[in-house]
Amino acid sequence: MKPNLQGMMKQVQKMQAEMEKVQNELANKSVTEDAGGGMVKATVNGRKELISVKIEDEVASGSDKEMLEDLIVAAVNKALESAGKMAEEEMANVTKGMIPPGFNIPGL
- Read off the pLDDT of residues 1-50 as tens digits, 9 standing for 90 and up: 456 778 878 888 888 888 888 888 888 999 999 999 999 999 999 888 99
52-91 pLDDT, tens per residue? 999 998 887 766 888 888 999 999 999 999 999 998 888 8
Residue 70 CB-density burial (10 A; 0-12 exposed, 13-18 middle, 19+ buried): middle
Do the beta carbons of residue 34 and residue 82 sit within 8 Å? no
> What is the rounded distance in angstroms from the CA atom of residue 71 to the CA atom of residue 97?
40
Give the per-residue pLDDT at 98.
63
pLDDT of residue 106: 56
pTM confidence score: 0.67
**Which domains are delineated in the chain?**
27-95 (3.30.1310.10)
- Helices 65-95 + 5-26 axis angle, to 10: 150
Q: Where are the alpha helices (H) located in the chain, listed in sequence order? A: 5-26, 57-60, 65-95
